């Protein structure tokens, strides 16, 4: 009988509260891990976007260099007639 009371007391006073705390900490850990994975994914995408941005800037820069200045544009249109 004494062992049963001791086992019940252990279960109610120690095991269940600690088990609940362990489950809570595991859930928090899983949330942190998920947030970290999302951050790493966004960081990788950011690197790709930076490369694309540089390529577009280069392309646009080259295009802007080929556009005649305002005065030359009028002459170019006039010469085409």
Does residue 77 fall inside a structural domain?
no
> Which pLDDT value is given to residue 4?
82
Count of H-run helices and E-run strands, the chain: 3, 0
Does 50 reside within a domain?
Answer: yes
Q: Is the pTM of this model over 0.75?
A: no
Structure confidence by residue, pLDDT tens digits, 53-77: 998 888 887 776 677 666 565 665 5
Query: Could you tell me which residues come within 8 angstroms of residue 44 by beta carbon, excluding any fewer than 6 positions away?
Result: none
Query: For residue range 10-67, what is the model confidence (pLDDT) as tens digits?
Result: 788 888 888 999 999 999 999 999 999 999 999 999 999 999 999 888 888 777 667 7
Number of domains in the chain: 1
With respect to residue 34, please indicate whether it lies within any of the assigned structural domains.
yes
Average pLDDT, the chain: 83
18-43 b/e with 16+ CB inside 10 Å = b?
Answer: eeeeeeeeeeeeeeeeeeeeeeeeee
30 inside domain: yes
Range of the domain at 46: 2-65
In a domain, 80, yes or no: no
Contact (CB, 8 A) for 68 and 76: yes
Nearest to 68 by CA among 56, 80, 57, 58: 80
């Amino acid at each position: 009988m004494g062992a049963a009371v001791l086992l019940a007391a252990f279960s109610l006073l120690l095991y269940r509260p600690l088990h609940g705390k362990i489950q809570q900490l595991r859930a928090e850990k899983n949330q942190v891990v998920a947030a970290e994975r999302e951050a790493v994914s966004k960081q990788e995408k950011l690197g790709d976007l930076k490369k694309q941005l540089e390529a577009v800037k280069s392309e646009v820069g080259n295009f802007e260099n080929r556009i005649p200045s305002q005065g030359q544009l009028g002459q170019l249109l006039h010469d085409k007639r």
